[in-house]
Structures are given as C-alpha cells and as structure tokens.
A = this chain, B = another copy of it.
Amino acid sequence: MAQVQRMSRLMVKTLRDDPADAETLNHKLLVRAGYVRRTAAGIWSWLPLGKKVLENVARVVREEMDEMGGQEVLLPALLPKEPYEATGRWEEYGPELFRLKDRKGAEYLLGPTHEEIFTQLVKDQCSSYKDLPVILYQIQAKYRDEARPRAGILRGREFLMKDSYSFDTTDEGLAESYALHREAYIKIFERLGLDHRIVSAVSGAMGGSASEEFLAPAPAGEDTFVDCPACDYAANTEAVTFAATAVETAEHPAVEELDTPDTPTIETLAAHLGVEASATLKNLLVKVDGEIVAVGVPGDREVDLGKLGEHLAPAVVELVTAEDFEGRDDLVRGYVGPQGLEKVRYIADPRIASGTAWITGANKPGKHAKNVVAGRDFEVDDYLDVVVVEAGDPCPKCGTGLRLDRAIEIGHIFQLGRKYADAFQLDVLGNQGKPVRVTMGSYGIGVSRAVAALAEQTADDKGLCWPKEIAPADVHVVAAGKALQTELALEVSQKLADAGVRVLVDDRAGVSPGVKFTDAELIGVPQILVAGRRSADGIVELKDRKTGEREELTVEEAIARLTA
C-alpha cells in the first residue's frame, strides 16, 4: 500500500509570524511553512517537507547530468591542505575557508569547491586520450565561512551544491563540454520552473577564460545584472564591456585654464562652473602593484574597483593614501589632469575616446582646464571599461539602454583551461604518442539555493507555491470538518497514493478548517483537495493553489482528474 503523508504524524509546525531575523521572502516563508530551521548562523536543518523539495531539485539535476553523460561520484567534504596549497587557494580563499587540524596536527579544510581533488583523481584514473573526455559530478554539502550569512538558505555557510568538472585534451573539446553543461543547465532550470537569464561573467578567483552565470531574477538576489530590452544581451554588471565609441572628429578650441578655487571634487567643480558632471573628466589615482596609475572616467561615473582589479589581475590594485603624494610635485591632489602626467600610466574608460574634449584638473592647486582633448592634449595608455554600470547605459551589442536588475546566482559555468592541470601536471598520452596537457571546465549549481530562488519567484501573498515537479506532494488533501470529513479525506488520499499520486493529507484533529486552509496555502502544494460540507454526498472541492480556481467534483471525478 502506497504511503500517504499524514500531517497528524508529520513534523511540520507552521508559524503565524515571520521569524524576527528574516529579511527575505524565501527565508520568511520557508521557516513559517516548516521547511527549514536555523541551527546556527548560516547553517540550516531541512525538515521533512524541506528535505523532499531539496531532494526533488537534486533529482532533476541528477537526471539531466546523467542524460548529458556526466558520471556521478562522491568525494569527501573534509579535504587535505596540500592540494589547495599547490594551487595557492589555501591562502587565496582567506577567512572564507573553514580550516581545521586533525588529532595529529595535520591541516584540513572543508571543501568550498573541489577542482584540486578532481584534478588529482583524473590524474590517477586517466592516462590516455582514450580515457577522455570525462565529465564527473557530485551533489554534496559545501562549506564557505561567509562574513555575513544572510537571507536564510540563500547564502549559507553549509549548503548543497552540484559541482561538476570536465576534462578534455583540446580547446574544442572543452568548448563542447562547456556547451553540454550550458544546454543541461537550461533544461534543469526549465524543469525546475525557474525564470533565469544567462549572463557573461567574470571568472573571479577561479581563473580561466569563458564563464557564464545563470541568474534567477528576484528582489532578494545579491547579484546585480544588466539585460537589454531589445536584443539578447545580458551580463553580470562586472562583466559589462562598453564598446569603444567612435572617434569624434570635430575641431576643438585650444586648452584654456580656469580659475576654480576650492573645487577638489567633481560636485564642487560642476557647481562652480555651472556645467553637468558628465562634461568633466574624473581622474582617480590608484596603486597597481605599488606603482601610481591614473584612471580616467567621465565625471558622472564611478570607477568599479572590482572590474579594474579583474582587468589588471594578477596585479594588486589599492587606493592611494596621503603619503603617496609625498615628493610627487606632478600629482596635485584634487586637480589632476591627464595632460600633465608624463610619468604616470593613464588608463581610461572607452568613453574618453580619442577626439573627445573634457574639463579636467590643470595640475595646479585651484586650477582646472577646459577643451582638454583625448589624443591631442594627452594620450591614453590603456582603454579599459572600469565604470560602474548604470541603468540606461547603451547595450554593447545593439546600443539600446540597458536594464539593471537584482538576481540570485543559481548556476555558474567556467572554462578553466589548464590552470589546475598545470598545477598538478595532469597530462595524458595523446594520439600522437606524446603527453598532452589536459584542459578543464568547472560547473556549479546551488541546489539548496535553487530551492530559495524557487520560493522567491513562485510565492504569493498567501505563501509558497511550488511547481509540480518540485513540490513536496502533488496534492494536499484537507479534512475540513469532523470524523466524516477525515474519513473521506483519508480514503481519497489512499486511493490517490495507490495510483502513484504523492499525497499530503491534513488529518489533524482539533485544528479548525480555517487554520488548515491557511496552512495549505502557506505550504504551497499545487493542488488542494478539500473534503468539507458536502462530504456526505461524496462531493469534494479541488482548488488550484496558483490561480485560486476552485471546482466542486465527485470523489471519482477528483481522483480521475488528479491521476490523469
């Protein structure tokens, strides 16, 4: 006899009020509906309903990973230090890595991702090009000691992740493994019912070349991304690359010096001159590996230090301090202009195109200069897109004004290249009989995070509202009344379960129909079947959780409908 989940026996305690520390919708609802409970900061327990939802997401991920030829493995979460030292990540991860010692004093870490261990495993297992390509994946608890764990299960310190790794002998092979993942991810997120966008991404500390993020738009998201309302362009804000503008050919008057006392900032300067900030050129001084570098951007824009750092990596970028100006008469704080900076490398935003004219510092205290023309009065050493992207910025692909939105990162795919293979000398014998260095990809899906993203995207003001494949049950049967209703509810539930329908039945005694209805809406199973007033006539009510549409049916009709 198939099993029915009876709420009278199930450990599910719903709460009327939002938890005090909850800021995001998914956090509030998943706690209130009894799916998860906090065990420590950023560390969560999955209760019976939550475990089912989590398992459903994992199942979809597993099925699609298998379908594309991925091989499931399970590596440990407790990992030795040495491989992570070999790649430098033991240090690079900083305080985000959980580190510990065993009884003998040997050092270990709790795996945040497993590139090192998979590389070593493939080195042990594969010796010939015939053994490749191979795609390995696992679904496993991962650990990151977040400084500010927040938003419930969205950013936890222990979380469930699918991580996979591809191993190929050629760049084309890597591109193919990457494409396989991209397709599988699209299928996975479609099956999960997650609205998502694929955006270009910077690869961050992972190293490597091509990289895309899968983002689920949601107000609770910690990622900002841009997308174009006209074409298919979408990108992580840090990855937006502004196309170089056309050279302006108009003739400009000669440089003219302006008296601008006490205007060391763009705001004071624009106010003093009565011009738009966008007419001015802002020159930020930074240190790159200790050397002073100037970065020019339009006066109404901010420098994105993250983007700058990405462009210049592995060089380290720092802000300058007062001491850096000592003995540098060429650098006049607040009045720097590129036309007087012969000794300083000048990096500029593509908007400072050759031929454009600007108001900028005159390299004298209290003085600015106008008609300072790029390419005529100063040279740009490197054009790099380093400004913080803003809504309305032109799409790099079609020029339409971009939109700016918040989203949850639910997946990430990277072409790592040979970084890890180099660290561990991962070679296989090539088809020419010579060793070939392997090239790798690394791919992640936040399984527990996908649950949070789904909750965010599908919930309404009544509660959670799961897509069918992910819901903890197919139908939520409510016994709204006394013994008669309970008897009918249990009878119908058993018939449905025997027909393969996953049933949650609210058979709790001493709980009012009103509370049961509210709980059913909160829990969010897609179909709600109520055994109520007309139970004696064998009439039940079937309600669609999402649309709220309701219909009275005979028991037989309801069963036929739900098993169709």
Q: Is A275 engaged at the interface, CB distance under 8 Å to the other chain?
A: no
Closest beta carbon of chain B to A33's beta carbon, Å = 13
Query: DSSP class of A's interface residues: helix, strand, loop or mixed?
Result: mixed
Stretch touching chain B among A63-71, A346-354, A460-468: A63-71
Q: Is A328 engaged at the interface, CB distance under 8 Å to the other chain?
A: no
Name which residue of chain B comes closest to A55, CB basis: B72
**Bound complex: CA A10 to CA B74 (Å):** 15
Q: Is A516 engaged at the interface, CB distance under 8 Å to the other chain?
A: no
Q: Are B76 and A54 in contact (CB under 8 A)?
A: no
- 0/1 interface trace, chain A 390-420, chain B, CB 8 Å (1 if under): 0000000000000000000000000000000
**Given A45-B76, A72-B51, is A147 in contact with B39 using a C-beta cutoff of 8 Å?**
no
Q: Is A436 engaged at the interface, CB distance under 8 Å to the other chain?
A: no
Q: Which of A20-52 contact B (CB under 8 A)?
A: 34, 37, 39-40, 43-48, 50-52
Q: How large is the interface on A (under 10, 10 to 19, 20 to 34, 35 or more residues)?
A: 35 or more
Q: Are B98 and A78 in contact (CB under 8 A)?
A: yes
Q: Is A324 engaged at the interface, CB distance under 8 Å to the other chain?
A: no
Chain B residues with Cβ below 8 Å from A117 are 39, 45
Q: Is A89 engaged at the interface, CB distance under 8 Å to the other chain?
A: no
**Given A66-B3, A73-B47, A117-B45, is A78 in contact with B147 using a C-beta cutoff of 8 Å?**
no
Q: Are A77 and B77 in contact (CB under 8 A)?
A: yes
Q: Are A11 and B126 in contact (CB under 8 A)?
A: yes
- 0/1 interface trace, chain A 501-536, chain B, CB 8 Å (1 if under): 000000001100000000000000000000000000
Q: Which of A270-318 contact B (CB under 8 A)?
A: none
**Bound complex: CA A54 to CA B43 (Å):** 26
Q: Are A48 and B76 in contact (CB under 8 A)?
A: no
Q: Which of A97-133 contact B (CB under 8 A)?
A: 98-100, 102-103, 108, 110, 117, 121-122, 124-126, 130-131
Q: Are B13 and A76 in contact (CB under 8 A)?
A: no
Name which residue of chain B comes closest to A510, CB basis: B130
Q: Are A121 and B73 in contact (CB under 8 A)?
A: no
Name which residue of chain B comes closest to A67, CB basis: B3
**Bound complex: CA A126 to CA B125 (Å):** 50
Name which residue of chain B comes closest to A69, CB basis: B9
- 0/1 interface trace, chain A 69-93, chain B, CB 8 Å (1 if under): 1011111111110000000000000
Q: Are B76 and A39 in contact (CB under 8 A)?
A: yes
**Given A11-B126, A98-B102, A100-B98, is A121 in contact with B45 using a C-beta cutoff of 8 Å?**
yes
- 0/1 interface trace, chain A 1-27, chain B, CB 8 Å (1 if under): 001000011110100000000000000
Which of A10, A44, A72, A509 has the largest count of B CB atoms less than 10 A from its CB? A72
Chain B residues with Cβ below 8 Å from A141 are 76-77, 141
Chain B residues with Cβ below 8 Å from A368 are none
Q: Is A443 engaged at the interface, CB distance under 8 Å to the other chain?
A: no
A76 in complex: contacting residue of B34, B43, B134, CB < 8 Å: B43
**Bound complex: CA A47 to CA B120 (Å):** 13
**Bound complex: CA A78 to CA B147 (Å):** 16
A47 in complex: contacting residue of B8, B98, B103, B125, CB < 8 Å: B125
Q: Are B71 and A136 in contact (CB under 8 A)?
A: no
**Bound complex: CA A3 to CA B64 (Å):** 12
Closest beta carbon of chain B to A71's beta carbon, Å = 4
Q: Is A358 engaged at the interface, CB distance under 8 Å to the other chain?
A: no
Chain B residues with Cβ below 8 Å from A124 are 13, 37
**Bound complex: CA A121 to CA B43 (Å):** 13
**Bound complex: CA A67 to CA B110 (Å):** 34
Closest beta carbon of chain B to A68's beta carbon, Å = 11
Q: A39-B117, A45-B76 are in contact. List 8 more A-B contacts (CB 8 A).
A: A8-B130, A11-B122, A11-B125, A11-B131, A13-B124, A99-B100, A100-B110, A103-B147
Which residues of A are in contact with B by a Cβ distance under 8 Å?
3, 8-11, 13, 34, 37, 39-40, 43-48, 50-52, 54, 66-67, 69, 71-80, 95-96, 98-100, 102-103, 108, 110, 117, 121-122, 124-126, 130-131, 134, 136, 141, 143, 145, 147, 157-158, 509-510
